[in-house]
Amino acid sequence: MIGSVLIANRGEIACRIIRTAKRLGVRTVAVYSEADANALHVRMADEAVAIGPAAARDSYLKGDVVIAAAKATGAEAIHPGYGFLSENAEFAKAVFDAGLIWVGPPPAAILAMGLKDAAKQRMIEAGVPVTPGYLGEDQSDARLQKEADAIGYPLLIKAVAGGGGKGMRKVEKAGEFAAALGSARREAAASFGDDRVLLEVYVTRPRHIEVQVFADKHGNAVHLYERDCSLQRRHQKVIEEAPAPGMTAEVRAAICGAAVKAAKAIAYEGAGTIEFIADGSEGLRADRIWFMEMNTRLQVEHPVTEAITGQDLVEWQLRVASGEPLPLRQEEIPLNGWAMEARLYAENPAKGFLPSTGPLTRLRLPKHSVRVDTGVEEGGAVTPWYDPMIAKIVAHAGTREAAADKLARACRGIEVFPVKTNAAFLASCLEHPAFVAEEIDTGFIDRHLDGLKAPIPLADDILRAGATQLAHGKGPAADESVWSPRPGATGFRLNGAPRSTLKVTLDGEARDLTLTSPDFARFGGTWDGADLIVFEHGQAFRLALPRDQTATAGAAASGDIFSPMPGRIVAVDVAEGASVKKGDKLIVVEAMKMEHALNAPSDGVVTGLTVKAGDQIEEGKLLAHVKPA
């Protein structure tokens, strides 16, 4: 077994690898950027090395610096986690060349699957069915438009070097192709340093089903069953589950057999995921499932596979990298119960899922009955530098219904402030009648979006109880429950008739309330200055006494375009003095690896343009003004 390993990553995956390594007696070395100097993974590791500034390109993506840190600390191996350098064949080769152990597949296997067009051609040769489309070398706009027209619409544009939905665009009609192509290329270049794309036919009721595979250095390869990752938003996975709903023994044999065949075709080693797209319009059928791509690394959603098989996949990785054979033969791998994973993100569903950054003054994650993988803690922060995932919440139960219920209840109990999260949105997905009925595909969230992202009102009894507490003034410290007994709460009763009325604001909306004193021991809350923050349904509600309101209305109607988040300007599609129509795209901001278009609020003329492509901006910066026509 490897004696020491450097984790070339950060956040929850670094913490997760460290936990397994410590259990196996393997010494761990963490690396960190300036932004992560106080991060959880840094403190968990046996040793930690600073590797550069906050930007990933200046730290976590500096392969030579990571290798130097491994050699300086005496680490025998490098585990890349996922993201960053995990699928970089040149980095993997450099690790081998440095005399270190690479906890991952051979560089040749990474190369074979790293480019989607080449990977598809390799799979065709291996007899694995692939999605029809264009994989050609000619990347001219004219050729791509011609091929798109021949394929027909809707279709998908995909980055050749892509992953995680980056550089992917759905195109509904021919007139939208050029703009979508430009956007996909920019995002692909920013994410992968490669702006080449391929085209695929769009499956109208697609299910995203992937198979976990593992192979060792002795020619053995197995699968650990399938996962369904169909609940997605903007091609980013939201809810994952294993096994896949509606999977039959016949279809499982076909899809898992194809996955193992794909792994063997490239002499694979270690953990990998073969991703398939299935036409779910007539249920799952063996002849309607096609290869999409292979991820030559551990996946974010690997905990659901661990839950149903009872295996530790990081342990398997370390053993395979050490030269050991696979721990189990195919027939020895169990499949027990049902598991679901929800990705808790720092984002605001009510505002178009815009990223939410800032301090984690309050962070209370579930402690019982579910698994929580996280790389942050209360008192830390969500920065704009990296992926906004706060945690993965994983539930395992005997049935799909029980797993969904357990996970939904866990999400409802999450308390985060002042950062906004998608906790309530996750619970709404899990509780939606169509999800419960297994009526899922990758369009599920878009079809039900308005209902899923709608905030759940604070219940009247909780609101009145909070107002009663507010009436007694600030008591506990910010990290103490507002419901805890404390000195100075005189006259506060747990039971009794209504005593008075009080004017308050709930998230800025004025309310007249009759104060009561119900049993509110189950309520969660904290103080933010003189305001009371109440947690319910996975949401945070601000209760405050009315303050003098100055006239601030009209900003939105004035035509000012403000940045809704910190980020980088990737495109400015208008010039000073240009005439625009309401809804025209003016500026594109990139934040946390995602593009956000800012549109004209009305017909008019652009004035006061303050930015250009490449500028770094802060949240709230005035970017332009549209003078109404």
Q: Which residues are catalytic?
A: 297
Cα gap 103→2, rounded to integer Å: 10
The residue with tokens 């604070």 is 458
CA angle (432 as vertex; 427, 438 as ends), nearest 5: 115
* Cβ-contact 415, 535 below 8 angstroms: yes
What strand order describes the sheet that includes 221-233? 289-295, 270-279, 206-215, 221-233, 236-242, 338-345, 389-397, 371-374
- Would you tell me the crossing angle of helices 107-114 and 116-126 to the nearest 10 degrees? 100
* Closest to 423 measured CA to CA, from 479, 542, 526, 342: 342
Residues 173, 67: Cα–Cα separation, whole Å? 47
Residue 617 and residue 562: Cα distance in Å, rounded?
A: 10
How far, in Å, CA of 229 to CA of 99, rounded?
37
H or E segment and range at residue 73:
helix 63-73
In terms of DSSP H, where are the helices of 392-459?
A: 400-412, 423-431, 433-436, 444-453
Copy the structure tokens of residue 50: 């600073």
| Contacting residues for 487 by C-beta, under 8 A, at least 6 apart | none
How far apart are the C-alpha atoms of 60 and 38, rounded to whole Å?
Answer: 16
Best CA proximity match to 609, nearest among 565, 575, 571, 566: 575
Asked whether the beta carbons of 411 and 375 are under 8 A apart, the reply is no
| Alpha carbon distance 392, 585 (integer Å) | 34
Q: Which amino acid is at 308?
A: I
Dihedral Cα 252, 253, 254, 257, nearest 10 deg: 120
Angle at 264 between CA 259 and CA 268, to 5 degrees: 100
SS3 319: helix
